[in-house]
Amino acid sequence: MTTSPAPATPGLWKRLACAAYEGCLLFGVCFITSYLFLTLSQSTWPLPPERKLLFQLWEFGWIGAYFVWFWRRGGQTLALKTWHLRLVARDGGAVVWWRAALRYVLSWAPLLPAALCFELAPEGLQNRAFGLGLLLGITLQWGWAVVDRERQFLHDRLLGTRFVGA
């Protein structure tokens, strides 16, 4: 019995376009969850300093719940469906919840150089340093996918997940 080869990984441009569309769709998710936060915490905008971190964690959690939920239920968010992509495990099956959650957390790794540059930059240059750090992080993330033999991102390679055509 022969095994069929794994489906080809969709191109980087298609995945980039899908990510941009996903960002547009997340605006709606963040709009609703921000409204819920402001209502439940009886806050107004701009948030007082003591609530900013709580708000950021709130949004991080809801965005994570969005991705993990859809990745577990058929492997497709609305953007992935639109672009005919699917997230699957290495064996082609559904992604288990802990891999989906860890993939979400690791997908934020490009922000680490940006945060580090912001913290280390002298006063007045922090915004530029953040931008350069973000550019570095994104370049490293996408650069890995360019040189990877299957065009996988590092977090997908480590977690045994991959995008396939749907």
Q: Mean pLDDT by 10-residue block, N- to C-terminus, for the chain (166 residues)?
A: 66 91 95 93 83 90 96 93 94 93 92 87 88 90 90 91 89
Please check whether residue 80 lies inside any domain of the structure: yes
pLDDT at 75: 92
CB 111 within 8 Å of CB 137: yes
Buried b / exposed e over 140-155, threshold 16 CB at 10 Å, is ebeebbeeeeebbbeb
Alpha-carbon distance 122 to 129, whole Å? Answer: 9
Residue 89: DSSP 8-state: E
The reply to whether 100 falls in a domain is: no
Q: Which domain holds residue 153?
A: 109-158
Domain C-terminal end among 48, 70, 95 = 95
In a domain, 103, yes or no: no
- Sequence-ordered strand ranges (E) for the chain: 85-89, 161-165
Distance CA 85, CA 12 (A): 12
Question: What integer pLDDT is reported at residue 45 of this predicted model?
Answer: 81
Residue 21: the pLDDT is 96
In a domain, 166, yes or no: no
* Within-domain flag for 163: no
Q: What is the pLDDT of residue 4?
A: 58
